[in-house]
Structure 1
């Protein structure tokens, strides 16, 4: 009998929305299977279960907060149960959100992607029968060329660092391409000077080795040897009692340096993009760049890098012409 109910539900998938399918299933089970009444879940209880699932998957606290805030915004706008929402409901919500917030297409697609993850989980866990957002396609965004640092920019920043810490920090970001969140988590004991490498913990607590050059090794050693504190952190604050330098501290320091030198948009992530672009530009296989940066998807790596057009022309002449 259970199999017959499933067959009937599958046949009705193209014709009914979630609320109707749930009602049909409950009716069939009540009259044909004599099942017990299903437990009812509120929007907030379903969100709590979803967030727990994401935490188990290893998502960072920042990602978890973004997921929760995005889905709570949906709850605030749409008062009914998420188990009853249709594709049209969600399309209307996204259109209204873009109109009211005047957000970019990229931001709107991020919201669509998060909602898609939530409803896919609801479907997988059988809280809903049909995912209503599956038919809402990826929102096309304009592809902009991301800026990178030139070799001159990097040398100017190195020459104008006011202390050994900032010099070592810039060199480490430039030579490894690590995320700023990975940088501030490093301890002195994590640095393997002999092999010029260290292990960082990326998104989802995944560890990976990163590598630095001889110049970075020298500047890191000079910085560490100059310190008089016993704090285990690799990078610490300069004023008052030594404390681990945070992400905001790194961003503020680099922004001020950029403003002083007249270099636009100086921030930690730009070092990462610069390394990716330089590596691909010099012929490093994209799969190795992906490993170096710790990307789970190669498309992310491709989106980071800006390939030099002159090298595209050279490759065309070499491989095609």
Structure 2
């Protein structure tokens, strides 16, 4: 983050907040960059208003900052995220005694747009896994890896970062469960089914040993050079198999996460159980999938009922 154009006290506060996010909050590098970009934008507005330290930031400063972005065409979702960042920043500053009172306590922002995520139909998922299974039978270790990664993403609904960070010991093949380290270093245990178990077992027996090098460590999934697979590689694999379907707008690994959650609810799973599987801290986040299920039910009704 470039803080050279900020007064020294404001620049120091921004850097301190960054250290807090990276350390105590254990945020991902991507999240830290997004938060600090928002904070820098806020502090630039405060500096332009004449503030030389955080006590110069008032509720009116925050409102002007968000108002200017709204007029510039920022989406409600972005405004809501930036308001949340401002609240986190000022709350931290009060705890650090850099602010005497929190000006963001009365800050309001538009509610986030609750866009329905892209979801695959179950038959589309079957086509994807069948395609990967056929490729694994005739292909090399990377084909075995790709099949295992996609099966596991769909079976568990884990995030890409969670998958890439898994170690071999995180698997419990006997119970068919997976230890997942999620956001904020929170751990959860997620079950997976027999198809995923078979694919992962094939990868561990026939694929991974062919790629292992001295620096592989305990990583569950490896890249072509034997190092831990990175998120970009996982995203590329999923994008390619979904593009090959040719009849879905769903893209990227999150489509498999969305699909897993929706299919669980379609099959009668309890909402709180799905929340636990996905690692959502709030049940409200999981509830969006109930809207997806209802929407799919409505579509099926309209297509099938003679008097719909």
TM-score, normalisation: structure 1: 0.77
Matches within 5 A, 1:143-182: 143-161=114-132, 162=135, 163-182=143-162
1:93 is aligned, of 57, 65, 70, to 65
TM-score by length of 2: 0.80
Instruction: Compute the displacement of 1:208 (Å).
Output: 1.1
Q: How does 1:67-146 map to 2 (within 5 A)?
A: 67-79=35-47, 80=51, 81-100=53-72, 102-146=73-117
Give the Cα separation in 1 of the matches to 2:115 and 2:14: 34
Alignment of 1:269-280 (within 5 A): 269-280=254-265
Q: C-alpha displacement at 1:311, in angstroms?
A: 6.5
Count of aligned residue pairs for this structure pair? 270
Q: Distance in 2 between matches of 1:72 and 1:142?
A: 25
The 5 Å alignment of 1:1-321 reads 42-54=9-21, 55-79=23-47, 80=51, 81-100=53-72, 102-161=73-132, 162=135, 163-227=143-207, 228-230=210-212, 231=216, 232-238=218-224, 241-262=225-246, 263-305=248-290, 306-309=292-295
Output the CA distance in 1 between the equivalents of 2:239 and 2:295. 29
Q: Secondary structure at the match of 1:307?
A: helix
Q: Which runs of 5+ in 1 are unaligned?
A: 1-39, 313-321
Q: Which has the larger radius of gyration?
A: 1
Change (3 A) 1:141 1:63: closer
SS in structure 1 at match of 2:238: helix
Structure 2: distance between partners of 1:89 and 1:183: 41
Tell me, in whole angstroms, the C-alpha distance in 2 between the residues paired with 1:47 and 1:304: 36
Instruction: Find the aligned partners of 1:244 and 1:257 in 2 and give their Cα distance.
Output: 21
Structure 2 Cα separation of the partners of residues 77 and 41 of structure 1: 15
Q: Is the 8 A contact 2:180 2:187 kept in 1?
A: yes
Q: Runs of 5+ in structure 2 lacking a partner?
A: 1-6, 136-142, 299-308
